[in-house]
Amino acid sequence: MIKSELEPGLEPGEKLLPVTEPYPRIEAPAEERLRAEIEALRREVERLRKGEKKHSDQPRRPRGRTLWIIGMALLTVLVLASFLGWLPHHRQEKELQKEAREEAQALPKMNFVRVGQSGSVDTLILPGTTEAITDAPILARADGYVVNRFVDIGDRVKKGQLMAVIAAPDLDQQVVQARAQLSQAEAALKQANANLQQGKANEELARVTAARYEHLVTRGAVARQDNDTQQANFQAQVSNVGALQEGESAAAQNVESSRANLQRLIELQSFERVTAPFDGIVTLRNIDVGALITTGSTLLFRVAQIDRLRTYISVPQSNAPGVAVGQEAQLLSPEFGTREFTGHVTRTAGALDPTTRTLVTEVQVPNPQGILRPGMYVNVRLQNPPTNPPILVPGDSLIVDATGAHVGMFRDVRQVAPEQQNKPKQTVDGTIHLQAVSIGRDYGAATEILSGLSAGDLVIVNPNDDVHEGVKVQATLTQATLDIQNGEPGQPQPSSNSEKLQPEPGAEPQTKQPSKTDKKRGPGF
């Protein structure tokens, strides 16, 4: 709409410039709306100036009242814009100051967990390497050349099965020579025996002659000198028989020696036929046809008996008292996933190694199907009832500094109202006590405490830099249980603090409060 009426105080013939309706409202924040109004006023001033040039023949300057009104309007808009821009910042600053005062006056907030002893069964997992129950290297006992080979690696053999044949002509000739020597010794023995029989006959004749001469000399029929000669001849024949007996004994021993030598060479000759010492599998073949064989230095084959395997593990001193012969054990291999092979402890060293403080223990496991192979890396799991179960705490609750290992305990707890006792989470006030502890094994998700804590103590979960001796805090007592895997193979260990504490149904999830510095972080960080 355009106004055409004369305004009071205007001269005749003077008209007002066309004026539009008030500017439309702009739905925008306060600052943008003010900028839009200023821009509209600026355009209106420009329009007024152009209108004066159009409706008047000569340009004229605006009146002072109009300029004053425009200036006051601009000033008002600027003051209003400044106020509207300052007001939100002022309110935000007041809120921040209020929150800072509340936070400064409020007690630090902590999460606590009630700790307890480890389970009734202590699971121990130790590394080991499988070995064949019997593993024999087969070496040559005869010098020669390989003329035949009947087995190769991977072949299963039976006890006494022929594996290779060695040609040893020198040994064969030694056997022939030994047979001839045995024949000579036996002939010498027969000759010594014949001489002995002849000597015994001469001895008997001399004895009879000597007896007759002794009877005749008493009658004076023969001279005493003849009697003495016959008596001496009899004694000589007795001595000759003794010598012939010794000769016969020496000849008999010579025969036994020749026979033993022949038997030795025959045994060596039998090694020309290489046979399997027991039922097993050929794990090594080091020869081929035509290979030169040297006695005692050439490794021909290696045979392993794999129907039962054994592995040796080193049990730590703390677990050694619980290991006994006949105890059940499980073997696990990464190649077979979660499949377990059950075996038993067959023997222990009976004494700890003073260097490593470990007990060498042998575990045997049946392997009738040959699934396990000798030389495989395995984990051996033993389950022993602990004599003194340690206390388990979350892995990130430890505070380790220059003075040693500590945990933050929550004590002087305010009594919880009866209506609050059955809630999954309770918020109470109390003070912090830094308790020195002795650390046992670290499972990642949890750590064993050997001394310093008792079952039922309240321990801070993931302490930060606000944890000091005697500090009053507001604590959230979480009904949580520790998730301890004890290093089970094939099961990943939790890597975040929220996974280390598994809340019970109905409990709120635990949140990790980051520490400002790393000086009090527990082991594993």
Instruction: Determine whether 458 is exposed, middle or buried from the number of CB atoms within 10 Å of its CB (0-12, 13-18, 19+).
Output: buried
pLDDT of 163 reads 93
Query: Can you give the residue ranges of every domain in the chain?
Result: 30-104, 169-271, 390-503
- Tens digit of each residue's pLDDT (9 = 90 or more) over 408-452: 887 765 544 444 444 545 667 778 888 888 888 777 788 888 888
**Position 148 pLDDT exceeds 90:** yes
pLDDT-wise least confident of 72-76, 116-120, 321-325, 405-409 = 116-120
pLDDT of 73 reads 80
Instruction: Give the residue-averaged pLDDT of 472-484.
Output: 61
pLDDT of 398 reads 85
pLDDT of 510 reads 42
d(C-alpha 33, C-alpha 30), whole Å: 5
Encoded amino acid at 462, one letter:
N
pLDDT band at residue 305 using 50, 70 and 90 as cut-offs:
very high
Nearest residue to 477 via CA among 507, 512, 515, 437 = 507
**Position 14 pLDDT exceeds 50:** no
pLDDT of 105 reads 59
Instruction: Give the residue-averaged pLDDT of 460-474.
Output: 79
Instruction: Determine whether 364 is exposed, middle or buried from the number of CB atoms within 10 Å of its CB (0-12, 13-18, 19+).
Output: middle
Residue 385 has what DSSP assignment? Answer: -
Report DSSP letters for 116-155, one per residue.
Answer: EEPPSSEEEEEEEEEEEEEEEEEE-SS-EEEEEE---TT-
pLDDT of 365 reads 95
pLDDT band at residue 478 using 50, 70 and 90 as cut-offs:
low
d(C-alpha 379, C-alpha 337), whole Å: 12
pLDDT of 106 reads 63
Number of Cβ within 10 Å of residue 135's Cβ equals 15
483, 445 Cβ separation under 8 angstroms? yes
Q: What percent of the chain has pLDDT over 70?
A: 77
Q: Where is pLDDT greater, at 411 or 104?
A: 411
pLDDT of 98 reads 76
d(C-alpha 478, C-alpha 423), whole Å: 10
299, 138 Cβ separation under 8 angstroms? yes
Beta bridge partners of residue 439, listed in sequence order: 449
- H-helix or E-strand containing 167? strand 162-167
The whole model's pTM is what?
0.50
Nearest residue to 482 via CA among 455, 459, 501 = 501
Q: Own/partner pairs for 353-360, CB < 8 Å, 24+ apart?
A: 353/314, 356/314, 357/316, 357/317, 358/314, 358/315, 358/316, 358/317, 358/320, 359/314, 359/315, 359/317, 359/320, 359/323, 360/312, 360/313, 360/314, 360/315
- Tens digit of each residue's pLDDT (9 = 90 or more) over 197-214: 988 898 888 888 888 888
**Position 335 pLDDT exceeds 60:** yes
pLDDT of 325 reads 92
CA 512 to chain centre: 28
pLDDT of 283 reads 92
pLDDT of 415 reads 44
- Tens digit of each residue's pLDDT (9 = 90 or more) over 221-233: 788 888 888 889 8
